[in-house]
């Protein structure tokens, strides 16, 4: 680490490390240095000139006006912010910036959280001394997420440094020169980056604002917020959801230095709109009529007990949810325990195998699981079997940082995603074939003739050589494609690549926000066994927690048919969907951003989120609802003090790790060796079914493939219409052409317009996962 | 002092006609400097340039040998040599004469510098308006290649040097060396922060030297005749000759090659022939292109060398003077000057991008007889902050502006008093 040094700032001695950015050193010490263009993640630019101070190398040296952001802290440095010349200069800078600024503060969307407003007040520029007309700009349409208001721009270049240099986007930039500099797109159009919402936060003024939030504007100080964790993928970015009165208004990222730090993705930022979905469940139902929720819980409990008594516990089952909290799943598990029933945690057997295996690797403590900041520092990245941008968006942004710093990025997957344009080497393989190529890397030897194609051998060889010289290698692997063979291949590669002098980090992209948490809880029955039992009429009562079986890859494609075989079904969720509609009893719960609980993210990091006491919120968290069910079954000793004992069971060596977890913590990485089995040796991929010479591959989209962000709000608009993709050669051999509506109903159950994609492996048909369900408006809302 | 013919031995400054072609250049002692350089070790060539006390002719007068010494000679990757021929400085047309008149002198100068720093690739960055000159240079480059002065294994020395022209898209800021490098890379012409200096991280992040056309023009002569010979011309701290020029209200606006240290008065009255309009005495001069503070008649005895002009509170700059006479209105002149800087600001940093247009607005209002009491103080205050910008552009605007405001206060006040009269 750098040496510790001392500098003096307006008489205050500040300790910092040599070479630290001087402005950052002051900020770290709690000293406000006015600034605009400097940003901790984006670095310095020297453009705004607001961070000026008198600086001298030591007390006996003459001081000069310097931009603190452009200097590195050195021992003995003397900094004076209070110097009248420096103050005068900073005031001059603000005056310059305000010459053309629309003095709209009372009606400006940014008001109350505007850095320009703060700095204007700080420098005490209170008098307008110019009398000339202001320049104006035309605004652009930037899509459904971000509103553009160029007149507010102070030309700090943060947006373009963020969008282009940091996030590596290319459809936004800076145009013009002199006093006509413009930040926008070549022409109006939807911003193509999955991280465009961060423009709102990096812009110190109101040029970029949240288009949804500004529609029903609220002053930031009127918002109620509570720290939470994003629910839209397994990364678990920390967020600050905000409510006004009873409605959800917006999400902004919240800093967690071990997770997302400054930024978040657009799916997370705008996906929270599901909170306002019109199909929110506001009342409980029991076999038809709406009843008070206490009544429904009481009747449900009675019904479950009755079935248990009549048919035995074996006739009762529950399905947990990877998007529900640990606490809710644990309470469900408790309910099953008290009734002697069984719980299933997964959608299908392949998912179960892959998620359990990846979870075992994640929590075993054997390999280092890379946090996002650790990913940024990787000097070699290998992405296996998925599309990072669609499956764990913020991992993509972190990998871009590693790439910017020079890390080679290798990608092996059936279809190129956005990250491929930054990769050193991309290899297209058929689904599941990732493992055979990686096996070659593992053995480090030339495979038998014909085992790999020339292209595959080249890729493997380039990978071996790049991996060899890396000090901080990283493997990122998809679990969403439910292939345990790929999970094992990634694990073995990372394991073998770890040597005495270096550890190879690994990270799995899981299907849901709490996949790891759910996988660590009790899981009595495999989904397909449960489904068979249901079809055979062996299940008399089924409780489904926060899960829409129509969209999650469960074998229950026809919910109505399946449920008709079950005497009593109960669904607990926050919104009406195909599952709640078919259930005999429906218990509404609070939506995620007004629930309390914990998630385990992809690292196994337990993070707690808090419920906001929202006036008029009609439901309690699913966990609390389930506890009242447990209570109503009369099994009181299961609750009480250790209400969530099952949750804490997952950390036997330190129960307190989870118990003591507070909202806003960095989070604890749960580690428990031996809970789940890790593969003893690399294993072969599963045989994937081929129809008509094609293997199906799911395209996991940032917008479209995640259930909650597809419920409501602008993220829906960004999802594509259904399509299928083929490699041009496959299309040609089938005499199909671009744009044509192709009929794959016999083999793959769909008819959709065809797109040709040369960056799709031959022999593969790529089908986007579109979790769209026609919005269901509950009866009482219609009335 | 008399005119000299060192850099202009092949050029008639009174009438720059067709360029000196390869044959004439050779007949007149061409590429002798390069031959002398190849006979020495690169470090020795650097030492000769250092010993000659040559200072950069791009405006700042930075010692060339010292500048070169920051290039890491043990660096094994690609290093680049760049010639700055952006010359968009108003009133300055000296590089134009060198470019159009004797392109081989530039090529030879660059070859010597390239050899001295072992840079194998070079670019000549040329102002867009000089595109005809660029074509002349291209032809000369072809001649040089044909005759073995460029390309691989030059004259059997084992040294390679590839040189090409690049036409600027046409912005004043492209002359600022780091903005030039960005522009050459195809990026926006914004200056870069220093450090790192181009000598360490320049073109494409590689060690790079940027020198002015005239700086390079001196090298063949220094190498051919030695540092001692060179130092005998000019003054002790400003060695050598300088292409000087005059434009504006003088009888004889043109260029001359003169030893550094000639007096400004001599330049104005003897060379440029004094006032162009009878009865209109000269009242002010901008000594070094536009971006230097004004000098007034009682400062005309200042000697035209780097240190003397600095002592007088201005800068030698390009040594191409702009002359104003009694008939010129300094408020209107200031408006014109600030209009230029307003137009050419790159827009990167606040005081320049916002402050200069504001100042221009005020000056313009004053010329329209719409000035207000307090405008002068306000302008001076806004002008004061132009010294703390990201690059030297705004300080360049500040020089003529603040000096006009100070030295011609009366003219501004008169206009402001005449409010509403126009
Ligand atoms: C706004 C601005 C414009 C400039 N334009 C030129 C130019 O056109 N030609 C030039 O040689 N130097 C110009 N310079 C100076 C260069 O930045 C640089 O100092 C010079 O090219 C170095 O060459 P030298 O060391 O040979 O003098 C300019 C500087 C500034 C700040
Ligand atoms: S749009 Fe915002 S971030 Fe971009 S330059 Fe303007 S003020 Fe800065
Ligand atoms: S990366 Fe995942 S957790 Fe983070 S904001 Fe996006 S969807 Fe939410
Ligand atoms: S002073 Fe600033 S705005 Fe002006 S040209 Fe230099 S960098 Fe650009
Ligand atoms: S923060 Fe230092 S110049 Fe903008």
Q: For A286-338, write each residue's pLDDT tens digit.
A: 998 899 999 999 999 999 999 999 999 999 999 999 999 988 998 898 899 88
Give me the CATH topology for the region A368-509. Answer: Dimethylsulfoxide Reductase; domain 2 (3.40.228)
Average pLDDT, whole number, for chain A? 91
Nearest one of A135, A539, A148, A481 to A318, comparing CA atoms: A539
CB contact under 8 A, A132 and B348: no
Q: Kindly report the nearest CA distance between residue B344 and chain A, in angstroms.
A: 6
Predicted confidence band of residue A781 (pLDDT cuts 50, 70, 90): very low
Q: What residues flank ligand 4, with Cβ below 6 Å?
A: B 173, 191, 345-349, 352-353, 389-391, 393-394
Interchain contact, B345 vs A52, CB within 8 Å: no
| Interval between CA B390 and ligand 4 midpoint (Å) | 6
Write the residue in A95, A96, A177 that is nearest to B347 by C-beta.
A177
Cβ distance A155 to B358 less than 8 Å, yes or no, reads no
Which phi and psi (to 5°) does residue B304 adopt? Answer: -85, 75
CB contacts of B378 in chain A (<8 Å) are 129
In chain B, what residues touch A52 (CB-CB under 8 Å)? Answer: 388
Contact check, Cβ <8 Å, A70/B193: yes
| Mean pLDDT across A611-621 | 70
Q: Is A592 in the pocket of ligand 2 (CB under 6 A)?
A: no
Q: Distance, CA B87 to ligand 1 centroid (Å)?
A: 8
Contact check, Cβ <8 Å, A89/B385: yes
Distance of CA B191 to the CA centre of its chain: 17
Closest residue, chain A, to B374 (C-alpha): A129
What is the arrangement of strands in the sheet containing A605-609, beginning at the earlier edge strand?
A: A597-600, A605-609, A668-669
The predicted-structure confidence for A213-270, as pLDDT tens digits, reads as follows: 999 889 999 999 989 999 999 999 999 999 998 789 999 999 999 999 999 999 999 9
> What integer pLDDT is reported at residue A631 of this predicted model?
86
Residue in B346, B347, B354 nearest the CB of A97: B354
Pocket probe for ligand 2: among A203, A204, A208, A262, the residue whose CB has the most ligand atoms within 8 Å is A203
Counted residue by residue, chain B has a size of 422
C-alpha closest to that of B214 among B289, B268, B295: B289
A439: pLDDT confidence band, cut at 50, 70 and 90? confident
Rounded to whole angstroms, the Cα distance separating A313 from A305 reads 9
Q: Do domains A368-509 and A689-782 have the same CATH topology?
A: no
Task: Name the one residue in this structure whose structure tokens are 């022409």.
Answer: A187
Q: Which helix (H) or strand (E) holds A387?
A: none
Output the pLDDT for position A445: 60
User: Which ligand 2 atom sits closest to the C-alpha of A150?
Assistant: 1
Find out whether A725 and A765 touch, Cβ atoms under 8 Å. yes
Shortest Cα–Cα distance, B180 to chain A (Å)? 15
CA–CA separation, A81 vs A75, rounded Å?
Answer: 18
pLDDT value of position B195: 93
Backbone angles phi, psi at A53, to 5 degrees: -150, 165
A15 has pLDDT over 70: yes
Tokens of A652: 């036997």
* Whole-number Å distance between alpha carbons of A193 and B59: 44
Count of alpha carbons within 13 Å of B359, Cβ hemisphere only? 36
- The first and second tokens of residue B35, run together, are 């031959």
How many C-beta atoms surround the C-beta of residue A594 within 10 A?
Answer: 26
Residue located via tokens 């890729």: A459
**Nearest atom within ligand 5 for CA of residue A38:** 1
Q: Is the pLDDT of residue A576 over 80?
A: yes
Residue A640 has pLDDT above 80, yes or no: no
For residue B422, give Cα distances in angstroms to A302, B315, B369, B371, B408: 96, 36, 6, 11, 20
Tokens of A606: 């337990």
Residue A783: per-residue pLDDT? 40
Would you state the pLDDT for residue A649?
Answer: 52
pLDDT of residue A57: 96
Predicted pLDDT of residue A650: 47
Q: Determine the distance in angstroms separating the CA of B169 from the nearest CA of chain A, rounded to an integer.
A: 13
- Gap between the Cα atoms of A430 and A765, Å rounded: 10
Which two three-digit tokens encode residue A648?
Answer: 């804490």
Give the SS3 label for residue A645. Answer: helix
Cβ-contact B172, B389 below 8 angstroms: no
Q: For A59-78, how does the pLDDT look when each residue is reduced to its tens digit (9 = 90+)?
A: 999 999 999 999 999 999 99
* Whole-number Å distance between alpha carbons of A265 and A396: 10
Half-sphere exposure of A252 (CA within 13 A, CB side): 18
Residue A449 has what pLDDT? 64
- Of A597, A659, A670, nearest to A229 (Cα)? A597
**Among A382, A388, A390, A399, residue whose Cα is nearest residue A166:** A399
Q: Do B358 and A46 touch (CB under 8 A)?
A: no
Angle at A714 between CA A757 and CA A248, to 5 degrees: 145
Euclidean distance between CA atoms B388 and B382, whole angstroms = 11
Q: Exposed (0-12), middle (13-18) or buried (19+): which is B14, by Cβ within 10 Å?
A: exposed
CA atoms of A209 and A152, how far apart (whole Å): 11
Give the number of whichever ligand sits closest to the CA of residue A146: 2
Alpha-carbon distance B91 to nearest alpha carbon in chain A (angstroms):
22
Return the SS3 of A518.
helix
Ordered by start, the domain boundaries in chain A are 4-98, 128-276, 284-345+521-643, 368-509, 689-782
Q: Do B354 and A96 touch (CB under 8 A)?
A: yes
Helix, strand and coil in chain A, % to nearest 5: 35, 20, 45
Cα–Cα distances in angstroms (integers) from residue A354 to residues A223, A601, B78, B303, in the given order: 41, 16, 50, 84
Phi, psi of B322 (to 5 degrees): -115, 125
Interchain proximity A180–B347, CB inside 8 Å: yes
Average pLDDT over residues A438-449: 70
What architecture does CATH give domain A284-345+521-643? 3-Layer(aba) Sandwich (3.40)
CB-nearest partner of B350 from A49, A65, A176? A49
**Min distance B148 CA to chain A CA atoms (Å):** 40
For residue A697, list its beta bridge partners: A766
3 state SS of B13: coil
At A653 the pLDDT is 44
Alpha helices in A312-428 (DSSP H): 326-339, 349-363, 372-376, 388-391, 393-404
Which pLDDT score, from 0 to 100, does residue A679 have? 61
Highest mean pLDDT among A498-502, A645-649, B271-275: B271-275
CA atoms within 13 A on the CB side of A365: 9
A772 falls in which pLDDT band (50, 70, 90)?
confident
Q: Are A589 and A559 in contact (CB under 8 A)?
A: no
- The CATH number assigned to the domain with range A689-782 reads 2.40.40.20
Q: How far apart are CA B134 and CA B127, in angstroms?
A: 9
Rounded Cα distance, A166 and A505, in Å: 23
What are the backbone angles phi and psi of residue A593, rounded to the nearest 5°? -75, 0
Beta bridge partners of B81: B122, B209
Q: What is the pLDDT of residues A522-571, one digit of tens each?
A: 899 999 999 999 999 999 999 999 999 999 888 887 899 999 999 999 99
CATH architecture, domain defined by A4-98: Roll (3.10)
Give the full edge-to-edge strand order of the sheet including B208-212: B162-167, B121-126, B80-85, B208-212
Instruction: Tally Cβ neighbours within 10 Å of residue A194.
Output: 23
Tens-binned pLDDT, residue by residue, of chain B (422 aa): 789 999 999 999 999 989 999 999 999 999 999 999 999 999 999 999 999 999 999 999 999 999 999 999 999 999 999 999 999 999 999 999 999 999 999 999 999 999 999 999 999 999 999 999 999 999 999 999 999 999 999 999 999 999 999 999 889 999 999 999 999 999 999 999 999 999 999 999 999 999 999 999 999 999 999 999 999 999 999 999 999 999 999 999 999 999 999 999 999 999 999 999 999 999 999 999 999 999 999 999 999 999 999 999 999 999 999 999 999 999 999 999 999 999 999 999 999 999 999 999 999 999 999 999 999 999 999 999 999 999 999 999 999 999 999 999 999 999 999 987 65
- Strand order of the β-sheet with A568-573 is A290-291, A284-286, A585-588, A568-573, A541-545, A316-319, A342-344
- Is A47 in CB contact (< 8 Å) with chain B? yes
State the pLDDT at residue A358: 96
């Amino acid at each position: 680490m750098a040496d510790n040094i001392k500098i003096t700032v307006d008489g205050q001695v500040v300790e910092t490390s040599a070479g630290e950015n001087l402005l950052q050193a002051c900020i770290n010490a709690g000293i406000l240095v006015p600034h605009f263009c400097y940003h901790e993640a984006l670095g310095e630019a020297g453009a705004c000139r607001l961070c000026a101070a008198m600086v001298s190398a030591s007390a006996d040296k003459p001081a000069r006006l310097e931009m603190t952001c452009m200097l590195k802290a050195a021992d003995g440095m003397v900094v004076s912010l209070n110097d009248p010349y420096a103050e005068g200069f900073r005031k001059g800078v603000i005056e310059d910036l305000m010459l053309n600024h629309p003095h709209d503060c009372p009606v400006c969307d940014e008001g109350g959280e505007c850095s320009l407003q703060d700095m204007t007040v700080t420098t005490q520029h209170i008098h307008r001394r110019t009398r000339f007309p202001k320049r104006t700009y035309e605004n652009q349409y930037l899509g459904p997420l971000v509103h553009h208001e160029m007149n507010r721009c102070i030309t700090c270049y943060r947006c373009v440094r963020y969008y282009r240099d940091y996030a590596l986007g290319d459809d936004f930039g800076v145009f013009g020169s002199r006093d006509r500099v413009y930040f926008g797109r070549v022409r109006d159009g939807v911003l193509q980056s999955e991280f465009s919402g961060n423009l709102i936060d990096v812009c110190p003024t109101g040029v970029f604002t949240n288009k949804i939030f500004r529609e029903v504007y609220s002053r930031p100080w009127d918002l109620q917020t509570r720290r939470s964790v994003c629910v839209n993928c397994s990364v678990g970015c920390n967020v600050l959801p905000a409510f006004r009165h009873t409605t959800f208004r917006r999400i902004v990222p919240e800093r967690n230095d071990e997770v997302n730090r400054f930024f978040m993705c657009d799916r997370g930022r705008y996906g929270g709109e599901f909170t306002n979905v019109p199909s929110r469940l506001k009342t409980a139902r029991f076999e038809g009529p709406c009843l008070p929720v206490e009544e429904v819980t009481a009747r449900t409990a009675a019904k479950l007990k009755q079935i248990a008594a009549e048919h035995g516990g074996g006739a009762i089952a529950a399905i947990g949810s990877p998007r529900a909290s640990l606490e809710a799943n644990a309470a469900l598990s408790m309910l099953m325990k008290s009734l002697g029933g069984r719980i299933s945690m997964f959608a299908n057997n392949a998912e179960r195998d892959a998620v359990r295996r990846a979870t075992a690797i994640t929590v075993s403590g054997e390999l280092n699981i890379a946090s996002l900041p650790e990913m940024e520092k990787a000097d070699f990245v290998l992405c296996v079997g998925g599309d990072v941008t669609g499956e764990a968006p913020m991992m993509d942004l972190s990998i871009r940082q590693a790439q910017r710093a020079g890390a080679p990025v290798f990608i092996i997957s059936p279809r190129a995603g956005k990250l491929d344009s930054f990769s050193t080497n991309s290899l297209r393989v058929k689904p599941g074939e990732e493992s055979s190529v990686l096996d070659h890397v593992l053995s480090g030897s030339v495979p038998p003739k014909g085992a790999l194609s020339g292209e595959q051998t080249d890729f493997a060889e380039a990978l071996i050589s790049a991996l060899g010289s890396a000090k901080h290698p990283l493997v990122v692997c998809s679990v969403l494609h439910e292939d345990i063979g790929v999970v094992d291949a990634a694990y073995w590669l990372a394991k073998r690549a770890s040597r005495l002098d270096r550890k190879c980090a690994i990270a799995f992209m899981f299907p849901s926000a709490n996949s790891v948490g759910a996988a660590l809880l009790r899981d009595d029955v495999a989904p397909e066994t449960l489904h068979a039992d249901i079809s055979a009429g062996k299940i008399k009562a089924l409780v489904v927690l926060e899960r829409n079986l129509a969209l999650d890859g469960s074998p229950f494609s026809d919910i109505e048919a399946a449920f008709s075989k079950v005497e009593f079904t109960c669904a607990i969720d926050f919104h009406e969907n195909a599952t709640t509609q078919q259930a005999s009893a429906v218990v509404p719960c609070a939506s995620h951003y007004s629930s309390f609980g914990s998630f385990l993210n992809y690292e196994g990091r337990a993070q707690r989120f808090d419920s906001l006491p929202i006036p008029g919120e009609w439901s309690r968290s699913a966990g609390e609802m389930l506890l009242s069910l447990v209570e109503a079954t009369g099994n009181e000793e299961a609750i009480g003090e250790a209400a969530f004992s099952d949750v804490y069971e997952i950390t036997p060596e330190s129960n307190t790790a989870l118990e003591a977890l507070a909202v806003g913590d960095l989070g604890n990485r749960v580690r428990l060796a031996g809970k789940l089995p890790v593969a003893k040796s690399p294993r072969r991929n599963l045989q994937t079914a081929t129809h008509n010479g094609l293997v199906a591959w799911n395209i996991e989209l940032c917008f479209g493939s995640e259930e909650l962000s597809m419920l409501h709000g602008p993220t829906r608009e960004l999802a594509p219409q259904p399509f299928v993709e083929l490699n041009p050669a496959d299309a040609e051999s089938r005499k199909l052409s671009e744009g044509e509506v192709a009929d794959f109903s016999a083999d793959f159950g769909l008819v959709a317009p065809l797109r040709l994609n040369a960056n799709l492996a031959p022999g593969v048909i790529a089908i986007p996962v579109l979790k769209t369900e026609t919005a269901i408006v509950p009866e009482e809302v219609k009335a | 002092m008399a005119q000299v013919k060192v850099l202009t031995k092949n050029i008639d400054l009174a009438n720059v006609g067709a360029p000196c072609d390869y044959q004439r250049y050779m007949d007149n002692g061409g590429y002798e400097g390069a031959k002398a350089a190849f006979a020495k070790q690169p470090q020795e060539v650097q030492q000769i340039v250092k010993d000659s006390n040559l200072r950069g002719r791009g405006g700042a007068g930075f010692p060339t040998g010292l500048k070169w010494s920051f290039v890491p000679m043990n660096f094994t990757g690609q290093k680049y040599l760049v010639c700055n021929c952006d010359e968009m400085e108003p009133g300055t047309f000296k590089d134009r004469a060198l470019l159009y008149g004797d392109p081989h002198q530039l090529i030879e100068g660059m070859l010597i510098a390239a050899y001295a720093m072992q840079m194998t690739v070079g670019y000549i960055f040329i102002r867009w308006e000089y595109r005809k000159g660029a074509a002349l240079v291209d032809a000369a480059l072809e001649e040089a290649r044909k005759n073995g002065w460029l390309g691989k294994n030059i004259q059997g020395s084992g040294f390679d040097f590839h040189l090409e022209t690049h036409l600027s898209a046409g912005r004043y800021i492209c002359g600022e060396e780091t903005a030039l490098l960005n522009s050459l890379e195809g990026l926006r012409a914004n200056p870069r922060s220093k450090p790192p200096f181009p000598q360490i991280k320049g073109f494409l992040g590689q060690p790079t030297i940027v020198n002015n056309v005239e700086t390079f023009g001196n090298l063949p002569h220094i190498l051919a005749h030695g540092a001692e010979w060179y130092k005998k011309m000019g003054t002790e701290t400003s060695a050598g000759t300088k292409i000087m020029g005059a434009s504006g209200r003088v009888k004889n606006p043109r260029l001359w090659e003169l030893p550094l240290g000639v007096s400004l008065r001599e330049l104005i009255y003897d060379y440029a022939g004094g006032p162009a309009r009878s009865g209109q005495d000269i009242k002010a001069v901008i000594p070094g292109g536009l971006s230097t503070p004004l000098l007034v008649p009682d400062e005309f005895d200042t000697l035209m060398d780097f240190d003397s002009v600095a002592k007088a509170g201005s800068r030698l700059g390009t040594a191409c003077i702009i002359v104003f006479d009694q008939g010129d209105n300094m408020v209107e002149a200031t408006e014109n000057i600030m209009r230029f800087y307003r137009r050419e600001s790159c827009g990167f940093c606040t005081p320049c991008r916002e402050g200069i247009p504001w100042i221009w607005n005020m000056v313009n209002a004053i010329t329209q007889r719409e000035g207000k009491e307090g405008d002068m103080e306000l302008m001076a205050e806004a002008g004061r902050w132009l010294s703390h910008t990201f690059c030297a552009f705004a300080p360049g605007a500040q020089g003529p502006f603040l000096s006009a405001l100070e030295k011609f206060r009366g003219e501004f006040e008169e206009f402001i008093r005449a409010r509403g009269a126009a």
